[in-house]
Amino acid sequence: MRMFKTLRMKIVLSVGAFFLALAAYGLWTPDLEFSELQKRYGLSSKNTVSVNGMQINFKDTGPHNAPVLLLLHGFGSSLQTWDDWAQVWEKKYRVIRLDLPGFGLTGPSPSNDYSERHDLSTLTHFVDALGISDLSVVGHSMGGKIAWTFAAAHPERVKALVLMAPDGFPQPQAIGTKPYAMPAVMGVMKYSLPKYFVRQSMAPAFTDSSQLHDSLVHRYHDMLRAPGVRAAILARANQTIYTDPVPRLKQIKAPTLLIWGEEDKMIPSSNAASYAGVLAQSETVLIPKLGHLLHEEHAEIGLAKVTEFLDAKLMAPK
């Protein structure tokens, strides 16, 4: 018994020494206060809706009688990723963007469930709670996967679909695998997340490094420090399992734009052909000299392409 007490004490002391070391080297990175993030980013607790036990944080701008655009961000991001595009679109569209479960000011799912099924349920109930019957969906990366999952489940409700470097179309041999499973050592990010690490993680998503502005890194760093988000990100990564997308993609009726930065290092633009070979109606745009975050790297280029598609599908005279 004494041996076990001694071992337990050594473990406690080792853990304590580890966190003291983090603090000593200035690497301790606590969560930010929810209210502080609201203040920094001009958000209000009024812009939330209760869905599946979560308070979903969202922004709803533009004329409410206009066609609805629902914008879904990628892994590790938040609704602010759409700022540049939203301020243009909200002049003629109703633009709704949200922090998906586990991210931003929505924060962790109380059930700790980040499965495809749960994401679809949450998004469906969110749209229903806002009283929206039909809409168009724009999704990036992880958000692209959620977007096409929603469009497949509700083909009659989605009028147009934009998939920006969407995740979720694995090689056949990868079906059933966990592509984002993280080693236990990555758990340290819950306690230490230097801004330098965030910058280095984002750098491969850009072709033009001058576009990775300090303000952009600062915002991502802030939102990764929202209460409980880092633990939620680890949980989502370890729960993500590749499934066969083909049967669901075949259910999609909406005209679909597949758009990629041609130099995307995260999800290669060659994946566009896999989607195009299955979707009922699609068109593909590859943008030279852009990477994965094509809505934040030279945002005006991707914006022009997507706006042209949406206007043609949603604003054309009937």
In the predicted structure, residue 17 carries a pLDDT above the cut 70: no
pTM for the full model? 0.91
Per-residue pLDDT of 26-82, as tens digits, reads 578 999 999 999 999 988 878 999 999 999 999 999 999 999 999 999 999 999 999
Can you tell me the mean pLDDT for 186-209? 94
Per-residue pLDDT of 244-253, as tens digits, reads 999 999 999 9
Kindly report the CATH number that applies to the domain delimited by 31-314: 3.40.50.1820
In the predicted structure, residue 7 carries a pLDDT above the cut 80: no
Per-residue pLDDT of 84-109, as tens digits, reads 999 999 999 999 999 999 999 999 99
The confidence score (pLDDT) of residue 199 equals: 96
Per-residue pLDDT of 253-287, as tens digits, reads 999 999 999 999 999 999 999 999 999 999 999 99
In the predicted structure, residue 12 carries a pLDDT above the cut 80: no
In the predicted structure, residue 3 carries a pLDDT above the cut 50: no
**Cβ neighbours of residue 54 closer than 8 Å, sequence gap 6 or more:** 101, 106, 107, 109, 110, 122
DSSP per-residue letters across the chain: -HHHHHHHHHHHHHHHHHHHHHHHTT---PPPPHHHHHHHTT--TTSEEEETTEEEEEEEES-TTSPEEEEE--TT--GGGGHHHHHHHTTTSEEEEE--TTSTTT---TT---SHHHHHHHHHHHHHHTT--SEEEEEETHHHHHHHHHHHH-TTTEEEEEEES------GGGTT--TT---GGGGGGGT---HHHHHHHHGGG-SSGGGS-HHHHHHHHHHHTSTTHHHHHHHHHHH------HHHHTT--S-EEEEEETT-SSS-TTHHHHHHTTSSSEEEEEETT--S-TTTSSHHHHHHHHHHHHHHHHTS--
Per-residue pLDDT of 119-172, as tens digits, reads 999 999 999 999 999 999 999 999 999 999 999 999 999 999 999 999 999 999
Q: Say which range, 20-24, 36-40, 73-77, 302-306, has the weakest mean pLDDT.
A: 20-24
The confidence score (pLDDT) of residue 318 equals: 53
The confidence score (pLDDT) of residue 257 equals: 98
